[in-house]
Amino acid sequence: MKCVIIDDEPLAVDLIKEFVSKVDTLELVNTFNNAIDAISIINQSNVDLIFLDIEMPHFSGIDFINAIDKKPLIIFTTAYSEYAVEGFNLGAVDYLVKPIPFHRFLKSVMRAQQIFNPQQIAAPATLITTPEIEQDFMFVRAEYENVKLNFEDILYIEGLKDYVKIYTTDQKYTLTLISLIKLENLLSTKGFARIHRSYIINIKHVKSIQKNKVVIAEKRIPISESYKNSFFEKINL
């Protein structure tokens, strides 16, 4: 998607430019520090997506939307969450509140991509597996590439609303759009256990169990009451 950034804050423009550079499906066409200068460019060029600040002096993002003839996909960016309802009423794809974290930016882009080309990202969090073969790895979708993760290298998995963080032995993590339930179903027979509504752990990497916590790589992970019995049965405690 060809995109444009419109924001009167130079630091905000630089941050979004950096984020855009990390996403292969985005092509940055131009940046503007005020919305007035962008009107003619948007009307004359094929722009698919605009990252648009709502609150700008003299000519706001709302004014800009009403002034342009072509209506690309819009992702609003602003420090003021009270504008969210007005933004969605104008048909915005999403609304990003500053300071914008990359995972939230990526989620917005994926929403826009699904609207722009539904076939291209029909299943952004697909796990690629071959049922006929007993695999010791999986592929997950992360930042527009398929990342191979060996089961034995996974320490634990943390759920973050629509996303999960998969922590590995190399002290890195992979952020992917998938549910913990889907991962739990895949990993339950691979030496993993769900111990909390937000955590799945690799039993192999448990250093110790301290009351209602497990310790993995110096990380203390809580064991919730609802998962306690099934976890202890799995490890024969």
Digit-coded pLDDT (tens) for 137-191: 888 877 667 788 999 999 999 988 767 899 999 888 888 878 888 899 889 889 9
Nearest alpha carbon to residue 175 among 159, 188, 189, 187:
159
CA 131 and chain centroid, separation: 27
Does residue 109 contact residue 50 with C-beta atoms inside 8 Å? Answer: no
Q: Do residue 93 and residue 24 come from a single domain?
A: yes
Q: Please state, in angstroms and rounded to a whole number, the distance separating the CA atoms of residues 73 and 50.
A: 6
Nearest alpha carbon to residue 87 among 75, 101, 69, 97:
75
What's the confidence (pLDDT) of residue 122? Answer: 39
User: Does the pTM exceed 0.75?
Assistant: no
Q: Please state, in angstroms and rounded to a whole number, the distance separating the CA atoms of residues 164 and 196.
A: 13
Both tokens of residue 133? 């073969």
Instruction: Classify residue 131: in a domain, yes or no.
Output: no
Q: Do residue 106 and residue 155 come from a single domain?
A: no
- What are the backbone dihedrals phi and psi of residue 56, each rounded to the nearest 5 degrees, phi first? -130, 150
Q: Do residue 150 and residue 222 come from a single domain?
A: yes
SS3 for the chain is CEEEEECCCHHHHHHHHHHHHCCCCCEEEEEECCHHHHHHHHHHCCCCEEEEECCCCCCCHHHHHHHCCCCCEEEEEECCHHHHHHHHHCCCCEEEECCCCHHHHHHHHHHHHHHHCCCCCCCCCCCECCCCCCCCEEEEEECCEEEEEEHHHEEEEEEECCEEEEEECCCCEEEEECCHHHHHHHHCCCCEEEEECCEEEEHHHCCEEECCEEEECCEEEECCHHHHHHHHHHCCC
Q: Do residue 91 and residue 36 come from a single domain?
A: yes
What's the confidence (pLDDT) of residue 86? Answer: 53
Instruction: Classify residue 129: in a domain, yes or no.
Output: no
Domain containing residue 186:
137-234
Average pLDDT over residues 35-49: 86
Domain count for the chain:
2
CATH of the domain at 16: 3.40.50.2300
pLDDT at 70 over 90: no
Q: Do residue 6 and residue 112 come from a single domain?
A: yes
Digit-coded pLDDT (tens) for 85-140: 555 556 788 888 888 888 889 888 988 888 887 644 434 444 544 444 457 888 88
Q: Identify whether 131 is preceded by a cis peptide bond (ω within 30 of 0).
A: no
> Average pLDDT of the chain?
84
